Amino acid sequence: MAFEKVSEDSHYVTQPMRMATVQALPALGFVSPQGQRFNDFEPTDEACEFISASCSALRPKNKEVTLHLAEWVCGGVDISENTLRNAISPCLPLPEKARRNLRNHLAGPNGTQEDVKRRQNLLAWMDALRANPSAAKLKPAVLDETHWHDIQAGSLFFKAQTLALEALDAVELGMGPKCSYVDATQKAQKQLQKLQQAAQAFLASGNQHSDAKRFCEECTNPNPTAVLKALVQRDGTGLREREDDIIRGPAFSGKLPPPPTDEDAPPSESNATDIPIPEGVSFRLRNFYLLNLDLHGELDAWLQRHKELENAA
């Protein structure tokens, strides 16, 4: 496909991978952001070194990968060939030199001193879990008390967040054009009760993250209708508020979301039981464990083992 076609306003390009890099690329030192948008990023010398380490062995049309892509942008070449696909595919392992480069940047000096120290300690923890997965339930020696407390508090917050979404789903299920708050509170009674308990557990942890604390304070209101009202006002997509009623939002479906399959869900969800990380923690930690496996060249074996276990079940 020609770049001219891809660059048209009418051409839709899925964005999950691009959006997931907006925070990661600056933190790794691979871009110099001139703004908050992906298109404002400029690659650094470190990024060019990483790209070279990743792609130098692959030469589409006997050219460097970056040069070949640049010529495609200018309308000069076609990109539908296996060599280029292999160079840019996220499904294939990186060369060892590129893996070392990426790991060095993960543990490198970019970011605040605290951020750098935490990343280094997390990498050490992931290595320890590779060697001894059964240690996942224990406080890792490489993490200080504050970091470990933040991870545990995050687990409590994600539980409250999930229950809040379940409460909104319960209201949305089978709802007509509008629904009173009285009826909606009755529909989501069980979910709201569980949400209140989960939010209270987070507040009891003493974590001072302002946004999370504010959300959980709203969810511990003794009036369940007030809790639901706050959730709907925060939502505004599946459900919206109009005067004293709840109405359908632009993303309204009227049914419960289907459970994720292995094809739909990221490994952090579909394979959570196979990842030796404390239950309920941020999906980023689960992904970090898998990334660390990949950096050691062990992810393919892990995926194959998981597939064999699934087939045997």
Give the Cα separation of 173 and 257 in Å (integer): 10
Give the Cα separation of 94 and 81 in Å (integer): 19
CB neighbourhood size of 312 (10 A) = 6
First to last CA, the chain: 42
Q: What is the pLDDT of residues 286-295, one digit of tens each?
A: 999 999 999 9
DSSP tally for the chain: helices H, then strands E: 16, 3
Positive/negative CA dihedral, 25, 2, 75, 7: negative
Q: What is the pLDDT of residues 184-205, one digit of tens each?
A: 999 999 999 999 999 999 999 9
Give the Cα separation of 5 and 11 in Å (integer): 7
With CA atoms as reference, report the closest residue to 24 among 288, 295, 297: 288
Q: How far is CA 238 from CA 94, 166, 216, 232, in A?
A: 40, 12, 21, 9
| Residue 51 identity | I
With CA atoms as reference, report the closest residue to 170 among 193, 152, 150, 151: 193
In DSSP terms, 239 is beta-bridged to 248
* Lowest model confidence (mean pLDDT) among 118-127, 137-146, 206-215: 137-146
Give the predicted TM-score (pTM) of the model: 0.76
Q: What is the pLDDT of residues 83-130, one digit of tens each?
A: 888 888 888 889 999 999 999 999 988 878 898 999 999 999 999 999
The structural domains of the chain, with segments of one domain joined by +, span 3-105, 108-137, 145-248, 270-312
Place of tokens 């691979």: 30
